[in-house]
Amino acid sequence: MTENSSTNELIPLENVVLKHANAGIALGAEQRFAESLEQWRLAAQLADANLEGEDLYYWVKGGYGAALHDVGRHRESIAVSKLVREWTLSLRQPLASMTIARAYLALGEAENAYPHIQDVHRLTGDEVFNLFERRYEADIRVALAAKA
């Protein structure tokens, strides 16, 4: 629990984590990526210290990994997203795999992206082509052909 400075009431830690994460989402939607990353970093820091192994921990780490990608910190994005990949796949959610694939593609390491593109395709079907920048369409086709 933390304290609300204006009312001196205790606030459940999960609410503080969600406040930072939701701010990160809103700032990211406004393409204010550096500010978004800072909010995700704060949420992840709290989650690391207090929520490891809980669903909220994994959800926050997935958002943090995507925010790292948004600011071009691709290697860190991959490392964080790999921590939550199995959890997101178990929920049939493509975020971690999509983030890992995007980061590898941005680094020019398309072959490393292929298994993650295949994960996204298994979950989204041909929508996969709309989830990545158009310039990566050939890489997506190669990844899907490699799967066949």
**Domains delineated in the chain:** 2-147 (1.25.40.10)
Q: Residue 2: what pLDDT? A: 55
CA dihedral over 130, 133, 137, 143, signed as positive or negative = negative
Q: Which one-letter amino acid corresponds to residue 67?
A: A
**Digitized pLDDT (tens) for each residue of the chain, 148 residues in all:** 455 555 555 469 999 999 999 999 999 999 999 999 999 999 999 999 999 999 999 999 999 999 999 999 999 999 999 999 999 999 999 999 999 999 999 999 999 999 999 999 999 999 999 999 999 999 999 999 987 5
Residue environment code for 102-132, b if the CB has 16+ CB neighbours within 10 A, otherwise e: bbbbeeeebeebbebbbbbbebeeeebeebb
Q: Residue 147: what pLDDT? A: 72
The pTM assigned to this predicted structure is 0.89
Q: Residue 10: what pLDDT? A: 46
